[in-house]
Amino acid sequence: MEDFLNQIRNDHHNFDKGQLSDHIGNDPFVFFHQWFKEAFDVKQPEENAFVLSTVSENGQPSSRILYLKELDDQGFVFYTNYASQKGAELSVHPKASMLFFWHQLERQVRIEGIVEKIDSASSDAYFSTRPRSSKLGAWASHQSQKLNSRDTLMDRLEELAGRYPEEVPRPPHWGGYKLIPTQIEFWQGRPSRLHDRLIFERDSIWSSDWKLFRKNP
Ligand SMILES: Cc1cc2nc3c(=O)[nH]c(=O)nc-3n(C[C@H](O)[C@H](O)[C@H](O)COP(=O)(O)O)c2cc1C
């Protein structure tokens, strides 16, 4: 085996940066907010990056990284192209999982739930804060469609820059989704692989009756 692969194979990382008591309150949004802030405070690079997994019509899962842009006491908001692969999959199965990994804190958070488009006024509000180049990029990229060449994309960008010399409106196919969770797992690495896992679960997105339990690591 190659040396680096051997080193990786024999590296047994010991997780010892924290622990999770049973007393983490009764509101997973409050606790997520606390962990998110701690990830920010320790300067965890890309603390708002998460893996979004969706499923295709025939049950094939697919995953990609996105940025979390907003959170409130209902759910977690991200922005993308509604006509992308993920958008098409969400229109058939409006369910997804989000996974955060905060390496510096040896933590992961697994979130599962239902995904809804946010209202267009909220998408407009966020789109208007983006740099001009990103706004034009949202128009230029037919996200997830086949692209003949990089030049095709750059030509489209140039054409769009001419079409919108000042304000760039939000493309109708671009906007936010909110994942409304039914389950959130907080995972804290512990020594000897005896990690702490605390799970909040509720029957539906309308319930405020969260059950909290622990799982084997
Ligand atoms: C760190 C990072 C952040 C990203 N953030 C976003 C994002 O917020 N929205 C988005 O549409 N794509 C984002 N992407 C690109 C996606 O990972 C993905 O390539 C794109 O959304 C197309 O996915 P799809 O074809 O599965 O729909 C990001 C990629 C990385 C590496």
pLDDT at 217: 98
Protein residue with its CA nearest to atom 18 in ligand 1: 64
Every domain of the chain with CATH number 2.30.110.10 lies at 13-128+172-214
Are 98 and 130 a contacting pair, CB within 8 Å? no
- Active-site residue flag, 150: no
Catalytic residue among 130, 193, 202, 214: 193
CATH tag, 13-128+172-214 = 2.30.110.10
Ligand 1, residue 89: give the atom nearest the CA: 27
Tokens of 94: 């409006």
Q: What would the pLDDT profile of 17-56 be if each residue is shown by its tens digit? A: 999 999 999 999 999 999 999 999 999 999 999 999 999 9
pLDDT at 1: 87
Tokens of 122: 């909220």
Rounded to the nearest whole angstrom, what is the distance from the C-alpha of residue 55 to the centroid of ligand 1? 16
